[in-house]
Structures are given as C-alpha cells and as structure tokens.
Amino acid sequence: MLTPYHTSIGSFTRKSTFFWAAVGATVGLSNLWQFPYLASLHGGAAFLVVYLVCLLVITLPLMVAESGLGRQSRHGLVLALDGLIRRAGCSRGWMYVGRLAIVAAFLVLSYSAVFGAIAVAYVFQGAIGRLSGVDEAGAGRVLAALVADPGNYRVFVAWHAFFLFLVVGVSMQGVVKGLERAVRTLVPGLLLLLLALFALAAVRGHLSESVGRLLGWRLEDLDWTGVRAALFQAVFTLGLGMGVWTILGAYSTAHTRFKRSLIAVVLVDALVAVLAGLMMYAMAPADPTYGGRGFELLFITLPVSLGQFPYSQFLMAVTFLMVVLVVWTSSLALMEPVVGWFREWTGAPRGLSALLVGVLAWVAGLASLLSFNLWSDYRWAGATAFRWLEFVTAGIIIPLVASLLAFFIGRRLYRHMAIELTGETPAPVARIWYYLLRTVLPLLVAVVGVLYLEYAMSGLCTAGGSSPWCEQRQPAVAQVRENAPNGGDFLYHRG
C-alpha cells in the first residue's frame, strides 16, 4: 500500500455517501437534454444497448481506476500520482496529467455554472407565470431576453453569481458539513422530483408515444453516427478525466464497497437518462425532424408544453428546480478536485480555498456567459469563447487525461501495483480490468477524443457556411440557438 502523506483533505462519515456523491457527479444536463434526443434519433432501445455496453466496457474500468487512485492514496489526483511515480520510479512528467485534470474540472465548472444560472432564473420565471400560456416564439423571446440580450447581460451575470454562491456556500462548509450533507439531501430530492414528474407525465402526458420513441427497437436507425454518439455520451458525461472520481475515492470510508457502488452509479445514470427522456417527451411531444433537440427541448419546447397543464406555474417551478439540483450537484463534484488540489498545494483552509476557487470560476465563466450576448459577434475561426472552451476541454484535455491515466496504470506501473487499485476483486475480473487498461482503453479513448474534436469543429459557424446550431427555425430563438450546444452536445453538464 502507498504511504499516505500527512494532510487532511477530509473524509465522508457514512459509507453510502460515496454512492450519493457519485450519482450527483454523473447525473448532469446531458441526461436531460442530450440522451433523449440521441436515443430517439438513433434507434431507441438499440442505441440504449450500445450505450450500456460503452459504459460497462469503457467508462466503468476508467472509473474504477480513477477512484482506486484516490481510495488507496487518500489524496487528490496530483498527489495520488506523485505517490505512484515515486514508488514505481517513473518520470515526474506524469504529474502534468493530474494538473491537466484540475484545469479541465475548473473550466467545465466555469461554463456549467452558466447553465445553472439559466435554470435558477427559470425557476422564478416559471413561478411568476412568465412562461405560462406562451407559444414557442414567446418562450424563445423569454430565453433570448435572459441570455442573448446585450442590454440585459447584467441580470444574467447576477443569476450566474447567485448560482455559484449556492455552490461555494456548500463547499466552504467542508467535506462532512458541506458536501456530505448536501449530496445526501439534494441527490435523493432530485430523484424524487424526477419520479414525481414522471408519474405526472404517465398520467397526463403522452407516455405511450414517448416509450415508442425512446425504447422502441429500431435497429435500422442505428448507424455509425449513432454508435459514435453513444461513445461520446459514455466517455464525456460521467466526469472522467477531471479528478472527480479520484477525490471522491479519497473521501470514501474504509467500509465503502466502491466497485459495487460504481456499478450501481452507472446503472442509475442510465436509468435517470431514460426516465428523464420519457418524462420530457411525454410532456412535450416534439417535431421529430427538429423539435426536441437538447437546449431547445429543455428551455423552449418543454416550458411551452408545461404551460398547457393545470397549475402550470407551480409545475414549471418544480421542473426547473429539478434542473437546478442536477447542475448544483454536478458543480459541487467539479469543485472538489480543484479545492482539494489547492489545499494540498498551499495548505490553505477549506473555506478560503473554496471561496477563491468559486470567485475565479465566476470570473472565468464570464467569458462563456458573455459569448451569448455582448461578445456573440467576436469569434475566432468561427467559434465563440464558450465554444472554444468546450472544444479544448471535451476534445483535448479530458480524453488526453483519461487516455494517459489508463496508459500510466496499464503500462508504467508494475502489475501488482495496478491490481492493488482495484482492492478486493476476484482475480479473473482484475485481470480483465488490467488487460483493458493495458491494451484497449488508452488508444480507444484517444480515438474518441479525436472523433469528438473533428465532429465539433466541423460544425463551426463560418462566414460562408452554416451548422446545425446556426439554423434559424424561428427568429426569436435564433440568437440563443446559435451559441447553444449543438443538439445537446454540451459536455456536463456535466455538469
């Protein structure tokens, strides 16, 4: 076993907290606005099967590796790698893998908070009735006034600051009084709200149509594009490559059955995506040729449909409260590797570290926020600042970190050192895990990263061309949609 460093980044007090924190880290906006669209487009249940295979073969082994690093070392990713490097006599250059992961977590946190701000604003917009009884054009004007109006950007900045205040306020309280209490309350609350909304959709919505759309077996609709989308969804939406799993592993108690918990987390993530998709398409049956795409489904199509239900103001407030909880819990998870690294690097107290990281995330997030309004005309190679942040994190840093970690564990550590990371695991299972990390996953994850970068870059709006998010279906929503995630391809959030 590794010799632990003398530090106190914290630890959970209950063994089940690891599960709740992990669910909070994995259930993100992609479950709400990306998976439903992709499944309905690429074969329904056939897409779901491919997605589950990708989760079990690619995502789960990487989650075990990353969380095993933290569980064994009781440190964040940077110091966990430092201990292994010293023990195995590897180059100190491998430390940069951990540092890149911290950069990725910080950048994803900065632009995830922008979407958290929209969700918080929509709780209040729905509660006061601004979205009740509007058509798609009216809902588009409400969204554009909040997000894309250059004259109203200060209000958007204020919502952004308020959302990060919620995140930082919890993080400053510490691992036990802050993070542990929050995830044990917010994540079950999120799941209960989802179940309640699903029950309402089953009773008052078009559930049979939604089931056919998401869970019907349509193998003829599943092509390479669908397989590629399943790979993207599995690799980029469960917090890999950002040090999240390492810090959660470090916080876990000695009695936590973390491999069993990770399997449960993967299955819960898929179940939440399916339930969310069934709920939203049952409440908001959309035009299959375009409607129901990611960003538009969540912030335009869904509010229009909810406005037709009795007690629509209360219903919209509850629905977007669920969205706030999704972004809030994933943002809390993204804070942890950055705060943990800063504390281990400087020895600063928890409260000061969380406050500093939160303020810096707010400042960095302004680049993404202003890309929707004041800076929307400022582009480099056809993309706004938000787009480039997403491209760099999703297309370069995250797959690079995940690939290099798999290579490091599978190729640079002694075999017994790598196997130790899995804890008490049956020998055949441990051998399969080690084989995947040693031979398959480093190259496969790198290829997925290249494919994502190529796909994202091909969709850039250029002076002489167009892309799916530049298509103008209605002038009222065109300005928002131009900068919105392409078909729901926003990464977190993971948030």
pLDDT value at position 391? Answer: 86
Distance separating alpha carbons of residues 156 and 493, to the nearest angstrom: 19
Tell me what pLDDT residue 286 has. 56
Give 3-state DSSP helix, strand, coil % of the chain, rounded to 5. 75, 0, 25
Query: Which residue ranges in the chain fall short of pLDDT 70?
Result: 1-8, 285-294, 459-495
SS3 at position 380: strand
Distances (CA, A) of 350 to 1, 17, 316, 339: 27, 20, 36, 8
Contact 28, 326 (CB under 8 A): yes
pLDDT at position 55, please? 95
* pLDDT the model gives residue 204: 86
- Nearest alpha carbon to residue 22 among 274, 291, 266: 266
pLDDT at 61: 96
Question: What is the rounded distance in angstroms from the CA atom of residue 18 to the CA atom of residue 388?
Answer: 33
Residue labelled with tokens 């202003």: 370
- Per DSSP, what are the bridge partners of residue 380? 383
Q: How many C-beta atoms surround the C-beta of residue 398 within 10 A?
A: 28
User: What is the pTM assigned to this prediction?
Assistant: 0.90
Q: What is the rounded CA–CA span in Å between residue 325 and residue 330?
A: 8
Q: How far is CA 122 from CA 97, 194, 475, in A?
A: 38, 17, 21
Q: What is the pLDDT of residue 460?
A: 60
Residue 471: predicted pLDDT: 47
C-alpha to C-alpha distance for 362 and 366, rounded to whole angstroms: 6
Q: Is 138 exposed, middle or buried (0-12, 13-18, 19+ CB in 10 A)?
A: middle
Half-sphere exposure of 297 (CA within 13 A, CB side): 36
Are 329 and 187 in contact by the 8 Å Cβ rule? The answer is yes
Distance CA 123, CA 152 (A): 18
d(Cα 384, Cα 380) in Å, to the nearest integer? Answer: 7
CA dihedral angle for residue 198, residue 203, residue 208, residue 212, rounded to 10 degrees: -10
Complete domains list, the chain, with CATH: 17-488 (1.20.1740)
Q: Are 44 and 281 in contact (CB under 8 A)?
A: no
Following DSSP, what letter does each residue of 129-174 receive, concatenated? Answer: TTTTT--HHHHHHHHHHHHT-GGGHHHHHHHHHHHHHHHHHHHTT-
The amino acid present at 193, given as its one-letter code, is L
Query: What whole-number distance in Å separates Cα of residue 319 and Cα of residue 122?
Result: 9
